[in-house]
Amino acid sequence: MCQASAEGVELLFHVNAIKSGDWYRQHFEATAVLQLKSPTPLSLTQWLERWVTPIQDLMVFGMRQPSSTISLSGIHAGAVGPNGLPFDVKVHALWHPRVPDLLWAVYQGRAILPANAVDDIGELIAQWFALHRKLGNAAQLFFGTINDRDLPALNRMLNLLAFAETYHRRRFDEPPLAEAEHDALSKQMLAGLPSQRECDVYAGRLLHANAQSQRQRVRWLITRAASADSRLEEVKRALVDSLTETRNHLTHFDAPNEWVANTSYGYALLAAALEFVLEANILLDLGLTEEQVQHGLTQGHGWDDPIPQLPANGAPGRA
Amino acid sequence: MSEPFEEDGYVWEPGSDERAVAHLRFDPDHGTDLTLINAPWALEVGKPWDVLYGESLWGQPWSLFDVRCRSSQRAANSRSGCEAETFVTGVHADKEADIAFTDLAFGCYGMREWLTQDVETAKAR
């Protein structure tokens, strides 16, 4: 049993062990349920969006396997049955994604953040909710992507790259110029244009000019992740160039060069490597030490470590 | 664990007295199917409802959200087949946002393994 609280809501994780059998065999089975208690009633929508989804995302992230709702029930204030007791309210739906009940062995060698990887589960849960709230809607972009094993490799890579950009922007943004300086210079540049026609073309572009490039953001995230896994320092240039050049080729139709991946294997390996980098960053965000992060990544990628597969002088899997 | 189940009862449109005999089937892999017998208000194929109310034979309230009539058979006894996106037992509510809890129980795939993963064994491997 694990107990935690976040934003005034109490969380209690239960594991229920069931033992059955006869003279010749014994069967053990365990189920897990999370009970949440809020000081004030929350609507079903609020429960789903603010509590159920982040917890499910924690399972997806920590176990590196898809997750989906199995059961959801509560006690509705004021709903009373014929015997005078409140009805247990149960919600039945086609929960997405559809996830089969995976065998125990499937989880082995993939968990980067199981519950007992940290000493204080309460602190981990509090940090997780704080991070999830900071990510806002972008959380869905990341956790929805890693929760969908059927997503084509190319879409997976582009989704993760888009998330990496917004994650860096939300958490570690460092615009090159101060906002006031940028505003003043933008006005000055627009004032120098001959007519409104040119202003319409440049105003929108200038609005976003004072921002780090995607290349800079990805490089920053890899450098941070390398504090937990030094191998990333060696593949940093190749990974940054392959990701940004491939993305630019796909979205802007830039001419392909040796850094542009063009096979499913290449896209899949770039997606896996970027996911590895994002995992390291998120583990660091949760307050884990560099040693704990390294241990989690080693344990969770025992069988699918993408880093040794990355070539140093070009995009992976070029045909 | 959410298991498939079937229930008999009655279903009606909120604010109406025209209750129809209903058979409800829920399967976590296929969703909620509702069969209505002699429901003149549910004969038009494709007709949507934001919500329908219902009650099991033993008095348990049902709320079915985002319902659509999928098939309709007109004879001496008409029969309509409907699908619902979300099926809530235990309460009548006009929309999902009206259902409020202070206590919630939730289970998802991976939670059991997350709670019981043996780090030391994995380390040793």
| Tens-digit pLDDT profile for residues A31-68 | 899 999 999 999 999 999 999 999 999 999 999 999 99
- Domain positions in chain A: 2-19+30-71+86-113, 151-174+212-309
B68: containing domain = 5-124
What per-residue confidence (pLDDT) applies to B125? 41
Nearest chain B Cα distance for residue A34, angstroms: 5
The residue behind tokens 């969006």 is A49
pLDDT band, residue A26 (cuts 50/70/90): confident
- Name every chain B residue with its beta carbon within 8 A of the beta carbon of A65: 109-110, 113
Q: For A269-304, what is each residue's pLDDT tens digit?
A: 999 999 999 999 999 999 999 999 999 999 999 889
pTM of the model as a whole? 0.89
Residue bearing the bigger pLDDT, B21 or A4: B21
Report d(CA B18, CA B15) in Å as an integer. 9
Give the confidence band of A78 by pLDDT, cuts at 50, 70, 90: low
Residue with tokens 């991946």: A261
Question: What share of chain A has pLDDT > 70, as a percent?
Answer: 98
Q: What is the CATH number of the domain that holds B51?
A: 2.40.10
The Cα-based distances of B88 to A41, A65, A71, B3, B115 in angstroms read 17, 28, 12, 15, 28
Q: How far is A134 from chain B (nearest CA, A)?
A: 23
Nearest to B114 among A31, A108, A114 (CB): A114
CA-CA distance, B22 to B54, in Å (whole number)? Answer: 8
B contacts of A4 (beta carbons < 8 Å): none
Distance CA A219, CA A228 (A): 15
**Residue pair A32/A13 in contact by the 8 Å Cβ criterion:** yes
Q: Are A124 and A235 in contact (CB under 8 A)?
A: no
Q: Are strands A69-80 and A86-93 parallel, antiparallel or unpaired?
A: antiparallel
Q: Which residues partner with B9 through β-bridges?
A: B22, B56
Please tell me the distance in Å from B75's CA to the nearest CA on chain A. 31
CB < 8 Å to B90, chain A: 76, 79, 87-90
Average pLDDT rounded to a whole number, residues A63-87: 81
How close does chain A come to B43, measured CA to CA in Å?
Answer: 24
A128: closest CA among A58, A191, A35? A58
CB contact under 8 A, A37 and B117: no
Spans of chain B, pLDDT less than 70 = 1, 118-125
Select from A73, A95, A297, A303 the residue whose CB has the most chain B CBs within 10 Å, as the one to mutate to test that interface.
A73
Q: Judge whether residue A20 has pLDDT over 90.
A: no
Whether residue A39 and residue B100 make contact (CB cut-off 8 A), yes or no, is no
State whether ipTM is beyond 0.85.
yes
Mean of per-residue pLDDT scores for chain A: 91
User: What pLDDT is recorded for position B122?
Assistant: 46
Across the interface, whether the CB atoms of B109 and A66 are under 8 A apart is answered yes
Total of domains in chain B: 1
